[in-house]
Amino acid sequence: MYRIRKEASFSAAHHLRHYQGKCERLHGHNWRVEAVAQGHELDEGGMLLDFGDLKKALNEVLAPFDHADLNTVPPFDTIETSAENLARIILEALAAKLDSERVRIVEVTVWETPTSAATYIRND
């Protein structure tokens, strides 16, 4: 089994609607995102997936979030803007762009701070 990882980042504000405490107020983070692709076979060039292709897709998925109030960006206008939900939504969007018979996006980790992260792992 092969795995590759790519990181990207974006800056955005948000607030938690169903939370009592300081995070219910509008605040911002410099979010860091790591995406993991996995597969059993390499292509003719000896790669699972070109890092550049993963970078491009990840940047496309993150673009609507950058310098935005996440609570106004679909689907976060109706669901909580937690790191856990961000990880799932980002994984699903990346999978729609990159999954093939040979390669699957299997994991996304989102850091709100350098020491606090949430990971969504695909089980299907």
- What are 75-114's pLDDT values in tens digits? 999 999 999 999 999 999 999 999 999 999 999 999 999 9
Do you find a cis peptide bond into 75, omega within 30 degrees of 0? yes
**Predicted pLDDT at 79:** 96
Name the catalytic one among 7, 24, 27, 67: 67
Name the catalytic one among 15, 23, 80, 92: 23
**Predicted pLDDT at 107:** 98
Place of tokens 């969007």: 93
Told to judge if 67 belongs to the known catalytic residues of this protein, a careful annotator would answer: yes
Told to judge if 112 belongs to the known catalytic residues of this protein, a careful annotator would answer: no
Cα angle 113, 33, 13; round to 5? 55
In this structure, what token pair is assigned to residue 109? 């980790």
Told to judge if 29 belongs to the known catalytic residues of this protein, a careful annotator would answer: no
**What domains appear along the chain, each with residue ranges and CATH number?**
2-121 (3.30.479.10)
